[in-house]
Amino acid sequence: MPSIGPPTPRRAIGAADGWELKTKNSKLRTLTPITLALVIGLSGCGKEGPPLPPEIRVAERTTDLTAFQEGDDAVLRWSYPSLTTDGSGLTDIEAIQVWRATLPEGQEPPPPISAQDRQLRRQLLEGEGEVIKELEPEELAAITHGADLIFRDDLARWRKSEGAEMGSPVLWYGVRTVCCRKQESVLSNVVRLEPQAAPPPPGDVQLGAGSEGIDVRWRQTDDLATLVERSADGATWKAVTEKPVKGDEWRDSKAAQGRSWSYRLRSVRVLEGGAEVVGKPSQPARVDHPDTYPPPSPQGVVCLPEGPRVRVRWQAVAGDVTYRILRQKERAKAKVLANGLQAVELTDPSPPLGALRYMVVAVDSAGNESAAADCTVVMGAEP
């Protein structure tokens, strides 16, 4: 039987041991909240949630596409794409697709009424149509006009490829923007065009320059309207009538004087529904518009005596003009007080006594002078 020795004596806890335990407990009380916070934080960081989908940028859909026929071209016009669907700026356009569908005569659905109808038209264009052109950035730069893009589809080539006759099939067009690593926008609004024989240009074009502008006259049939185009060099043409003109004459009041201008005219047939077929231009006609016409006379000329002085005032004349001011005493020769004056008043510091007449003449940049406008005043009494 093993012997049982005396029990191991317990070590007494001294003052130093008590301080040590107290200190350790104090440290534990201090570290525990920090450790707990770290545990909670680490557990949150390590928790896996559902993966977030990558952000996809897509160009906003074009909604202002329009189409009309000019000669043998279908002319498409729409705003240059500038926004994405989330409203941010669009700076990375990769291409713009131009879609076209040929709908046989009698197979075009009725005009859309609801949003669902318009969506069905887009689906039909995608299903029956094709991309006839994918415009790269360099090509987009070439067809950019201000804030718009203008694309021309050669209808003569289309007729040849389709074997189509004038006025039979209907064409539908749409555009789609590609950006942001091949992301395609929703197809634009769908526009239609009925290819027609373009109307002949107006005949007997005549021009006449006058002080109020250049008068353009022509001969036109009653069922057609007319567009007027103007050029300074005979190569670059700009339409100067915002809308087709009914009738056979129009005045260009904005053509600058002192140069020559060329004009050419196009006939316009307005179809049912408002679509336009614009014909080819007439042969250009040219006219000199010399700057030999005087500006209008100043209005509201008044003479204001102010003690020994006279202040003359008048209303400004429109255009690039300066003023010549003259003073005349009775039947004596008029004296020039100022020449090339740009202000609309003048103070005469030392006018003679008696009845005085002040005259104001407007002078344009070509040296043409208006008729004088005047006012009169009597200064003091002559000895």
**CATH architecture, domain defined by 66-193:** Sandwich (2.60)
CATH class of domain segment(s) 203-289: mainly beta
Tens of pLDDT along 330-339? 889 999 999 9
Question: What pLDDT, on a 0 to 100 scale, did the predictor assign at position 47?
Answer: 53
Structure tokens at 152: 């021309």
> Are 66-193 and 302-379 in the same CATH fold?
yes
- Is the entire prediction scored with pTM above 0.85? no
* CA 96 – CA 136 distance, rounded (Å): 7
* CA 59 – CA 351 distance, rounded (Å): 73
Question: What pLDDT, on a 0 to 100 scale, did the predictor assign at position 155?
Answer: 93
Question: What pLDDT, on a 0 to 100 scale, did the predictor assign at position 165?
Answer: 63
Listed as ranges, residues in the chain with pLDDT below 70 are: 1-54, 164-167, 381-383
> What does the domain layout of the chain look like in residue ranges?
66-193, 203-289, 302-379
- Strand runs labelled E in 104-253: 130-135, 144-145, 148-154, 170-179, 183-184, 191-193, 203-210, 213-219, 225-231, 238-239, 249-252
Question: What pLDDT, on a 0 to 100 scale, did the predictor assign at position 37?
Answer: 41
Tens of pLDDT along 132-161? 999 999 999 999 999 999 999 999 999 888
**CATH architecture, domain defined by 302-379:** Sandwich (2.60)
Question: What pLDDT, on a 0 to 100 scale, did the predictor assign at position 50?
Answer: 65
Pick the closest to residue 295 from 316, 317, 277 (CA basis).
Answer: 317
